[in-house]
Amino acid sequence: MSDAKTRSSGQVRSLTRALTLLRHLAESGDGMSLTELSESASLPPSTTHRLLTTLESERFVRPDPQGGLWRIGVAAFFVGAAFARSRDKLTLTRPYLRRLMEVSGETANLFVESDGEAICIGQIESRHAMRAITGVGGRVLLHSSGAGKALLAHMEPARRQRTLATMALPRETQRTIVDRGRLESELDEMRALGYSVDDEEHALGLRCVAAPLFDDLGQAVAAISVSGPSARIPVERLPVLGRLVAQAALEATRDYGGAAPVAAQ
């Protein structure tokens, strides 16, 4: 191996080790000692100290002389803040929506909650001539739509209770659930299952499955769904689509920097 390649390989290894130290410090919360970092990263203390000194010079870490600990520095905060500013749910989820459309053959959607409804903010349409009718900007009710039920199912319990207590439950089709007790029971089942189902409850002849996108606090901030005519989505196909959508939502959550609640992982 040439000297240039050797130096390049060494630089990459040093960068990887430095990033490993940053991750350990970020996870610790209260800081870590040189010994703790060395053991956690499986590095010699001398190497660990050298990397920390370099990171300190760029303000990615800072020492606490009194406690003998190392903590995350202000430069790491700036990087994290830049990521937070750049988190665009639609841009981030578009590859997943496209993959869902390609794999399922059905329209893939992204919904967010607003004023007691779910609003479609992104969509990759099916190539079939006959497809779902709710386009970008369209609104659906929470209790009768797959996306709406995914958002309801994963709401913080107290908020969900308040929402259900005040929202109307109009019947859109003969399959719409209008009994609050039955709806709550179904939401609990869907929360445990990891995806929700609209079985012709929003519109006859249409079915939908959806799963939530979580933020870093474990709150459902959006829902990814696949929808299409019941002729192409028979009841037997719902679990298959549900697993596809749940997996896509989980991957998108990770890219978003979110964390699904333990029960939803």
Asked which of 24-38, 72-86, 164-178 is least confident by mean pLDDT, the reply is: 72-86
Rounded to an integer, what distance in angstroms lies between the CA atom of residue 193 and that of residue 246?
9
Pairing of strands 196-199, 61-64: unpaired
* pLDDT at res. 106: 93
Query: What are phi and psi for residue 243, nearest 5 degrees?
Result: -70, -40
CA 198 – CA 187 distance, rounded (Å): 12
The answer to whether 118 and 147 have CB atoms below 8 angstroms apart is: yes
Got the DSSP string for 213-252? EE-TTS-EEEEEEEEEETTTS-GGGHHHHHHHHHHHHHHH
Which amino acid type is present at position 90?
Answer: L
pLDDT at 249 over 80: yes
65-93 average pLDDT score: 78
Compute the average pLDDT of residues 54-63. 92
151's CB contacts (< 8 A; 6+ apart) are: 111, 113, 118, 142, 212, 220, 222, 223
- CATH class of the structural domain 3-84: mainly alpha
| Percentage of the chain modeled with pLDDT above 70 | 90
Q: Tell me which CATH homologous superfamily contains domain 87-264.
A: GAF domain (3.30.450.40)
pLDDT given for residue 196 in this prediction: 96
Cβ contacts of residue 237 below 8 Å, gap of 6+?
Answer: none
Domain residue spans of the chain: 3-84, 87-264
187-218 as b/e: b if 16+ CB within 10 A? beebbebbbbbbbbbbbeebbbbbbbbbbeee
What is the structure's pLDDT at 253? 94
d(CA 93, CA 249): 8
